[in-house]
């Protein structure tokens, strides 16, 4: 009487041509309808994520060298649906995870295909031919490409996973253990930079330059951000109103009351800078949002009075209250409908300058923050 074969929960059963690319227990609801079969040329992977932007993630097997398709297909399917043994992770005492993210998964398969193409160029036709000598030669190929130490380390990690998941497949190809996994990766990476330890060794920006830059970045964040953010909100509100409000007699009356005097006086009209080309166009959404007239009513008025040709640069002031001050006076009379996107970009840049500087100071610069803050306070 023979004993039953030991069941290893980490080794998945051999897939059939109709086996799903992503097994049911791993499918997430958002993209559950986007799945494929093991035999398909394209494997959609969106079922692994609920990120709307990743619905086109896939593996395309026609891009894989023919001799290696069957072997890599099985290892890739095992990696998609399986996980590394806890003992494997514990032995390495690293931050490796049993399962990896969708982006890391697709990158790993991409690197496996690059390896397969390199092997094919050298007359090799099976992953079983990846001996220590072959692994070492491929590492030299990676080093010759001039990639950074971190990049090469990432690639070697994907190749280690190839070996690890081959062992967990229902029909291992016989990939040998990469030498960097056994001996350590250091000898297989580009030389470490002399600036190790993570310290920022860049030449610091002169205080005469950095001081005013940081002062005004802080002033913009502290004193002007509220106005800019409120103006941005008003711009979006007016634009949305101008796009979506229905036609009403009250809106038409308000439109006529606003524009008739400007047309009669041949005064400059509200205008915005045209996107992608020179010049200005009639500020239709601004006028619609301001008066409550629909986009159709505004378009008819513009056509009836020939205002497209008559549009000239004119401020489109927002109703946003101005609270920020420079030297005790309001920093401007009003925010303009067309300028808030640019002001938002400047505000984001100011935030970046402050955060990047104050979180990346080098030794010896620690007193600079207090000095700059004092200078800022004295300049108000």
**Same domain membership, residue 225 and residue 268:** yes
Burial code of 316-332, b = ≥16 C-beta within 10 A, e = fewer?
bebebebebeeeeeeee
Helix (H) / strand (E) containing 67: none
Q: Of the candidates 154, 188, 222, which is a domain's last residue?
A: 188
**Same domain membership, residue 179 and residue 113:** yes
Instruction: Place 10 in a pLDDT band, splitting at 50, 70 and 90.
Output: confident
pLDDT at 159 over 90: yes
Among the residue ranges 6-10, 39-43, 277-281, the one predicted with the least confidence is 277-281
| Residue 10 falls inside a structural domain | no
pLDDT higher at 31 or 70: 70
Burial code of 131-150, b = ≥16 C-beta within 10 A, e = fewer?
eeebbeebbeebeeeeeeee
C-alpha span between 160 and 164 (Å, rounded) = 6
| Residue 16 falls inside a structural domain | no
> pTM, whole model, 2 decimals?
0.52
| Residue 200 falls inside a structural domain | no
**Same domain membership, residue 345 and residue 220:** yes
**Same domain membership, residue 212 and residue 132:** no
| Residue 9 falls inside a structural domain | no
- The whole-number pLDDT of residue 338 equals 78
pLDDT digits (tens, 9 = 90+) for 345-370: 899 888 888 887 777 654 344 444 44
At 336 the three-state DSSP class reads strand
pLDDT at 131 over 50: yes
Average pLDDT value for residue range 22-28 = 92
pLDDT digits (tens, 9 = 90+) for 181-193: 888 888 899 987 6
When the pLDDT of each residue in the chain is averaged and rounded to a whole number, the result is 83
Q: What percent of the chain has pLDDT over 70?
A: 84
CA distances from 70 to 22, 75, 262 (A): 17, 9, 74
pLDDT at 5 over 90: no
Number of domains in the chain: 2
**Same domain membership, residue 114 and residue 146:** yes
**Same domain membership, residue 170 and residue 268:** no
**Same domain membership, residue 87 and residue 45:** yes
- The whole-number pLDDT of residue 119 equals 96
C-alpha span between 183 and 181 (Å, rounded) = 6
**Same domain membership, residue 165 and residue 228:** no
Instruction: Place 173 in a pLDDT band, splitting at 50, 70 and 90.
Output: very high
| Residue 132 falls inside a structural domain | yes
| Residue 197 falls inside a structural domain | no
pLDDT digits (tens, 9 = 90+) for 309-340: 666 556 678 889 999 999 889 998 888 777 88
- The whole-number pLDDT of residue 116 equals 96
Number of residues written out for the chain = 380
Helical residues (DSSP H) of 51-101, grouped into ranges: 69-81, 86-92
Instruction: Place 16 in a pLDDT band, splitting at 50, 70 and 90.
Output: very high
**Same domain membership, residue 298 and residue 353:** yes
**Same domain membership, residue 161 and residue 241:** no
Helical residues (DSSP H) of 175-283, grouped into ranges: 179-183, 207-219, 225-244, 249-264
Q: Which residues contact 223 (CB under 8 A, 6 or more apart)?
A: 324, 325, 326, 331
Residues of the domain holding 168: 24-188
Instruction: Place 283 in a pLDDT band, splitting at 50, 70 and 90.
Output: confident
**Same domain membership, residue 225 and residue 121:** no
Q: Which residues pair with 273 in a beta bridge?
A: 280
**Same domain membership, residue 137 and residue 31:** yes
| Residue 4 falls inside a structural domain | no
- The whole-number pLDDT of residue 311 equals 60
| Residue 193 falls inside a structural domain | no
């Amino acid at each position: 009487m023979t004993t039953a074969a030991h069941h290893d929960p980490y080794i998945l059963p051999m897939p059939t041509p109709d086996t799903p690319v992503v097994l049911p227990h791993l499918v997430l609801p958002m993209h559950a309808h986007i799945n494929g079969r093991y035999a398909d040329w394209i494997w959609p992977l969106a079922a692994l994520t609920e990120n709307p932007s990743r619905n086109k993630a896939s593996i395309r097997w026609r891009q894989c060298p023919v001799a290696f398709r069957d072997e890599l297909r099985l290892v890739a399917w095992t990696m998609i649906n399986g996980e590394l043994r806890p003992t494997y992770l514990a032995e390495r005492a690293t931050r490796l995870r049993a399962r990896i993210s969708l982006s890391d998964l697709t990158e790993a398969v991409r690197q496996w295909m690059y390896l397969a193409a390199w092997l094919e160029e050298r007359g090799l036709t099976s992953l079983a031919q990846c001996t220590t000598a072959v692994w070492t030669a491929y590492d030299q190929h990676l080093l010759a490409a001039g990639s950074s130490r971190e990049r090469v380390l990432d690639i070697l990690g994907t190749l280690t996973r190839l070996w690890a998941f081959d062992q967990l497949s229902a029909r291992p190809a016989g990939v040998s253990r990469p030498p960097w996994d056994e001996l350590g990766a250091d000898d297989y990476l580009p030389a470490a930079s002399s600036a190790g330890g993570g310290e920022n060794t860049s030449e610091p920006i002169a205080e005469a330059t950095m001081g005013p830059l940081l002062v005004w970045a802080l002033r913009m964040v502290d004193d002007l951000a509220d106005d800019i953010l409120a103006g941005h909100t008003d711009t979006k509100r007016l634009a949305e109103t101008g796009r979506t409000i229905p036609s009403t007699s009250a809106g038409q009356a308000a439109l006529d009351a606003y524009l008739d005097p400007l047309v009669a006086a041949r005064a400059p009209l509200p205008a915005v800078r045209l996107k992608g080309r020179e010049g200005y166009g009639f500020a239709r959404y601004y006028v619609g949002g301001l008066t409550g007239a629909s986009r159709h009513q505004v378009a008819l008025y513009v056509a009836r009075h020939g205002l497209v040709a008559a549009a000239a640069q004119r401020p489109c002031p927002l109703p946003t209250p101005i609270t920020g001050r420079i030297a005790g006076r309001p920093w401007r009379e009003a925010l303009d409908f067309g300028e808030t996107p640019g002001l938002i970009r400047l505000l984001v840049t100011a935030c970046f300058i402050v955060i990047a500087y104050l979180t990346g100071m080098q030794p010896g610069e620690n007193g600079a923050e207090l000095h700059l803050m004092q200078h800022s306070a004295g300049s108000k």
